[in-house]
Amino acid sequence: MSDYGLRVLDPDECRAALATGTIGRVALCGAVPMVLPVVYGLLDDDIVFRTAPGEKLIAAVLHQTVAFEIDDYDTRTSTGWSVNVVGTPEEIVHPVELERARALGLPCWAGDARDRFVRIRAHDVTGRSIDERA
C-alpha cells in the first residue's frame, strides 16, 4: 500500500493490466507538453501503436522519453487502477518486426494515413489501484 491509500501494483499486475487495454495515452514533453490518445497493442511486452507523421513519430525518431498511461475506473464502486510506462519510443522499420506489428490488427480510428508503427521500450512500469484491498 502506498502512503496515500492506494495499493501499489506489482510488475505482473501491471503487465496483466496493460494486456487488457486497447486505448491508452502517450505523453510527450516537447516545447508544449501534450497527452494524445492511441489505439495500442503489446509486442514482446512493449507498447505498439500506429501513427501518422507528427509529434508522436518525431518523438520516436528522436528517441525522446515518453510516458504511456492506461486506467480503468468504476464510478459506482469508487474502484479503479492505473498503469504508467516510461520509456523510449522508436519507429518500427525492420521488415520482420513491422510485419509482427501489422499482425496486431490495430485499427486506424483517425484516418488511413496512420501507417507508421511506434514501439515504446519500457524503462519503468508502475501501477496503483484503489479497491477493497487498499
Q: What is the pLDDT of residues 90-133, one digit of tens each?
A: 999 999 999 999 999 998 877 667 789 999 999 999 999 987 54
Global confidence as pTM: 0.89
Nearest to 89 by CA among 32, 24, 133: 24
pLDDT band at 134 (very low <50, low <70, confident <90, very high): very low
What is the mean pLDDT of the segment spanning 77-95? 95
- DSSP per residue, 24-48: EEEEEESSSEEEEEEEEEEETTEEE
Helices (H) and strands (E) in the chain, counts: 3, 7
Q: How many residues does the chain have?
A: 134
Residues 6+ apart with CB under 8 A from 118: 48, 49, 50, 51, 56, 57, 60, 89, 90, 91, 92
Domain 7-130: state its class: mainly beta
Whole-number pLDDT of residue 32? 86
SS3 91: strand
Domain range annotation of the chain? 7-130
Residues 6+ apart with CB under 8 A from 125: 11, 14, 15, 18, 83, 84, 85, 86
